[in-house]
Amino acid sequence: MYSTKEKNDNDKDDLLLRMGLNDNKAGMEGLDKEKINKIIMEATKGSKYYGNELKKEKQVNQRIKNMMQQKAQITSQQLRKAQLQVDRFAMELEQGRDLNNTIVHVDMDAFYAAVEMRDNPELKDKPIAVGSMSMLSTSNYIARRFGVRAAMPGFIAKRLCPQLIIVPPNFDKYRAVSKEVKEILADYDPNFMAMSLDEAYLNITKHLQERQNWPEDKRKYFVKTENAIENGIAPNTMLAKVCSDKNKPNGQYQILPNRQAVMGFIKDLPIRKVSGIGKVTEKMLKALGIITCTELYQQRALLSLLFSETSWHYFLHISLGLGSTHLARDGERKSMSVERTFSEISKAEEQYSLCQELCSELAQDLQKEKLKGRTVTIKLKNVNFEVKTRASTVSSVVSTAEEIFTIAKELLRTEIDADFPRPLRLRLMGVRISGFPNEEDKKHQQRSIIGFLQAGNQALSVTGCMLEKTDKDQFVKPLETSHKKSFFDKKRSERKWSHQDTSKCETIVKESLQISQPFQVLKKTSENLETSDNSDNFQIFTCPVCFREQRSISLEAFNKHVDVCLDGPSIRENSKMNSSNASSTEVNLKEITNHSFLLCEKQYYETHQKNVEITSVDCVNLVETRNNSSKAGSIDTEHSKEECSSLPSKSCLVSLENQDAELLSRHEPLQPCVYQVTAGQALVCPVCNLEQKTSDLMLFNVHVDVCLNKGIIQELKNDKVYPLNQPKDSSRSTGLKQSTERTKRVGLTAKYSASKKIKPNNPRYTLDIFFK
């Protein structure tokens, strides 16, 4: 939405240009260049933003250094050979040159500002900008004389020009005006290509032909509106775009459709003017002595050796003045995303809530276009402006807020855990979905679903396991309905009140805690455990390594079994596979200890925030317990191994698609999963072995996918619950009990974490579930 289209006229090769500095000559009521730069620098220096800009600049410099080293190794022989190859290609391009089209680039000058000035004439002779104190999207020409430009933070603009009027953006209005203009454009080319609210390409070739036959009086001027409009008329889009920038403001420029005119125009054109050549590319090329298109052409052989094929082909096109002559129809969308910047958020539960909210927004947007995708990506920017993205792809498409959140929260959790005990100090979070199926994929998917339903013994299975809508809502609803007030609203109120009323503030915090998924999990767990305790001392476990169900064994026995499985052939094989993981048993043990301690701390931290009574003493106990169990497990290896291999065959197995699967369940040939589900009973993930409090099969499958993607080990490391049998204990339903449960789980966790290299992130596995 923010326009940064005004490329700086004389970019410096240094950081200054990035700060929005420019070379405006002193205007009567403006500022000169020196003064502008000084003010901007003063406002910028020392900021975290600036720090990150410096860091990025260093990286670019390193890239350039590498490139120059590469260049130094090129022999004249290689260069000659490249020259021949490139020239052959250039010849082909030249032969394909098409000058028969007339392309117009239409660009509305300072569009948002112009609309605001139209609606409020008082603004006309004043410096104005549209945006906020944080960011401006555009400014009028008066403001530009003070160095106020698009993509500049408002607070800096105010220092440049204290009289500046910052008008909040009104996108609905701009859309409406834009629509009017586009209706006019459609008269000239019904297939015009809109690049944004204020920019479009038109192919008026056909229009010009028809126009020839028009009566004189009907031939009006091209476009007449109140706003200033730039035009560029040229034989292709690349040239037209550059043209429209030529005679600003409110100008028009035409390149006649002959080769000589094109090459003349190109000759001294700085490459930076071309769409697609940004700051970094400009700087890299400048290091090679390339500033104009002529120089770009002269260095074509060298470029073919230093850059990728895509890049040097592109460079060659530019230097020959070539560009696309037809306007591509809008293709299918490839991704959809939401992201938001905020003042620092470092509490994990707030981050989860935020993530959930973003997922809901994204789901709504997806719904509007009826889209579903397979890949979910989260984006995190910390307070130092460092950006990270993390993605996960599942086997079938997702689209609901819950499904997306199931994936996104795991990605987020991994990042939070990775930095623990330091919190992630975020200033931005985003969620993106991609991997939309094309038509063929859709057909294929359709078939699979039908096949799945048929294979699943039809009515009995489906109705038997899916809960009625009302039951289902019990699980799903809280996530959605608790959002009448958005997370940001809550944050706002929280901040507003923080000085005045602490108790109110607490209420708000609790509210946001409740919608935080991880805590829901915790809560549910205690319930689960209670019920299971009542029934039996022994439970059915599914070993997450060999996938065998372990019936009627104690927790200790089960732990032993898992230990053996982990120490068994499959794991060894896996660690061998990963050459970087040269870990001996000894090293593993060390990892275990450290890790378990961190986990303990973390659980204490999180539990504490939830007002569950748990003391640090419990945490110490956790470690001890864990160590004991770990030792017991490894000492008793022989015996347990035997126990493991003599186990009866299971009734639940995950069907995996590739060899890695074989490693995971190598004790047994692969076979389809038979997963028994009875009405009203929650689904238990066969990977992490955790009960999933959802009746939504899709959601459940997404969870299983995520588990498989992350790998068993990691999943166990991160999950806060693990089904355990509790010694009969009168204090069972208290917070203390909860802490004891975790104690044991940590033991297991740590054990697993030692061999987490199992996980192949890619390829994916699929889980087939049939119902009896």
Output 207 or 273, the one with its CB closest to DNA.
Answer: 273
Q: Which of 377, 689, 701, 753 binds DNA (CB under 7 A)?
A: 377
CB of 364 to DNA, least distance (A): 11
DSSP three-state, residue 138: strand
Mind giving me the DSSP string for 519-544? HHHHHHHHHHHHHHHHH-S-EEEE-T
Rg of the chain over Cα atoms, rounded to whole angstroms, equals 32
CB of 376 to DNA, least distance (A): 8
| Sign (positive or negative) of CA dihedral 651, 654, 657, 659 | negative
Q: Footprint of DNA on residues 264-293 (CB under 7 A)?
A: 274-282
Q: Footprint of DNA on residues 627-666 (CB under 7 A)?
A: none
Sequence-distant (≥ 6) Cβ neighbours of residue 56 within 8 angstroms: none
Output 170 or 621, the one with its CB closest to DNA.
Answer: 170
CB of 92 to DNA, least distance (A): 19
Nearest C-alpha neighbor of 416 from the set 340, 347, 354, 357: 347
Output 275 or 655, the one with its CB closest to DNA.
Answer: 275
CB of 690 to DNA, least distance (A): 22
Burial class (CB in 10 A: 0-12, 13-18, 19+), 643: middle
Q: Which of 16, 195, 256, 263 binds DNA (CB under 7 A)?
A: 195
Name the segment binding DNA (CB under 7 A); options: 176-184, 390-398, 585-593, 624-632. 390-398
Interface with DNA, residue 61, by CB under 7 A: no
Interface with DNA, residue 418, by CB under 7 A: no
Cα–Cα distances in angstroms (integers) from residue 134 to residues 338, 343, 427, in the given order:
19, 12, 13
Burial 606-633 (b: 16+ CB within 10 A, else e): bbeebebebeeebbeebbebbbebbeeb
Cα–Cα distances in angstroms (integers) from residue 217 to residues 47, 214, 525, 711, 754, in the given order:
60, 8, 80, 73, 83
Total residues contacting DNA by CB under 7 A comes to: 77
CB of 383 to DNA, least distance (A): 8
Output 240 or 622, the one with its CB closest to DNA.
Answer: 240
Interface with DNA, residue 374, by CB under 7 A: yes
Q: Which amino acid is at 273?
A: K
Contact 315, 376 (CB under 8 A): no
Interface with DNA, residue 223, by CB under 7 A: no
Nearest C-alpha neighbor of 236 from the set 112, 328, 322, 164: 322
Q: Footprint of DNA on residues 142-181 (CB under 7 A)?
A: 151-156, 158
Angle between helical axes of 348-369 and 585-609 (0-180°, round to 10): 90
Interface with DNA, residue 311, by CB under 7 A: yes
CB of 380 to DNA, least distance (A): 9
Beta strands in 354-462 (DSSP E): 373-382, 387-398, 426-434
Q: Which positions from 539 to 558 touch DNA by CB under 7 A, shown as an x/- string?
A: --------------------
Output 555 or 708, the one with its CB closest to DNA.
Answer: 708
CB of 673 to DNA, least distance (A): 22
Q: Which amino acid is at 22?
A: N
Q: Which positions from 574 to 593 touch DNA by CB under 7 A, shown as an x/- string?
A: --------------------
Q: Which of 198, 350, 563, 691 binds DNA (CB under 7 A)?
A: 198
Cα–Cα distances in angstroms (integers) from residue 377 to residues 387, 394, 452, 740, in the given order:
13, 11, 28, 36
CB of 26 to DNA, least distance (A): 23
Q: Which of 30, 430, 518, 723 binds DNA (CB under 7 A)?
A: 430
Q: Footprint of DNA on residues 103-142 (CB under 7 A)?
A: 133-135, 137
Name the segment binding DNA (CB under 7 A); options: 252-260, 388-396, 454-462, 657-665. 388-396
Q: How far is Cα 356 from Cα 362, in angstroms, rounded to an integer? A: 10
DSSP three-state, residue 689: coil
Output 162 or 727, the one with its CB closest to DNA.
Answer: 162
Contact 747, 625 (CB under 8 A): yes
Q: Footprint of DNA on residues 701-760 (CB under 7 A)?
A: 709
Q: Where are the alpha helices (DSSP H) in 19-75?
A: 33-44, 48-72
Q: Which of 11, 199, 549, 719 binds DNA (CB under 7 A)?
A: 199
Output 291 or 466, the one with its CB closest to DNA.
Answer: 291
Cα first-last separation, the chain: 53
Output 200 or 654, the one with its CB closest to DNA.
Answer: 200
Interface with DNA, residue 5, by CB under 7 A: yes
Output 260 or 310, the one with its CB closest to DNA.
Answer: 310
Name the segment binding DNA (CB under 7 A); options: 190-198, 478-486, 522-530, 550-558. 190-198
CB of 50 to DNA, least distance (A): 6
Beta strands 229-234 and 252-254: pairing type?
Answer: parallel
- Which DSSP category does 326 fall into? S
Q: How far is Cα 467 from Cα 515, in angstroms, rounded to an integer? A: 23
Output 134 or 454, the one with its CB closest to DNA.
Answer: 134
Interface with DNA, residue 246, by CB under 7 A: no
Cα–Cα distances in angstroms (integers) from residue 192 to residues 49, 189, 300, 326, 596, in the given order:
39, 5, 33, 10, 61
CB of 334 to DNA, least distance (A): 4
CB of 689 to DNA, least distance (A): 23
Cα–Cα distances in angstroms (integers) from residue 685 to residues 174, 396, 445, 693, in the given order:
50, 17, 23, 10
Q: Which amino acid is at 92?
A: E
Interface with DNA, residue 1, by CB under 7 A: yes
Q: Which of 60, 99, 598, 682 binds DNA (CB under 7 A)?
A: 60
Output 277 or 543, the one with its CB closest to DNA.
Answer: 277
Q: Footprint of DNA on residues 329-348 (CB under 7 A)?
A: 331, 333-341, 343
Name the segment binding DNA (CB under 7 A); options: 59-67, 172-180, 417-425, 622-630. 59-67
CB of 273 to DNA, least distance (A): 9
Sequence-distant (≥ 6) Cβ neighbours of residue 306 within 8 angstroms: 67, 70, 71, 288
DSSP three-state, residue 236: coil
Interface with DNA, residue 4, by CB under 7 A: yes
CB of 253 to DNA, least distance (A): 16
Length of the chain: 772
Output 266 or 543, the one with its CB closest to DNA.
Answer: 266
Name the segment binding DNA (CB under 7 A); options: 219-227, 306-314, 346-354, 511-519. 306-314
Q: Which positions from 458 to 497 touch DNA by CB under 7 A, shown as an x/- string?
A: ----------------------------------------
Interface with DNA, residue 428, by CB under 7 A: yes
Residue 734 C-beta-side C-alpha neighbours within 13 Å: 7
Nearest C-alpha neighbor of 719 from the set 699, 740, 691, 696: 691
Interface with DNA, residue 616, by CB under 7 A: no
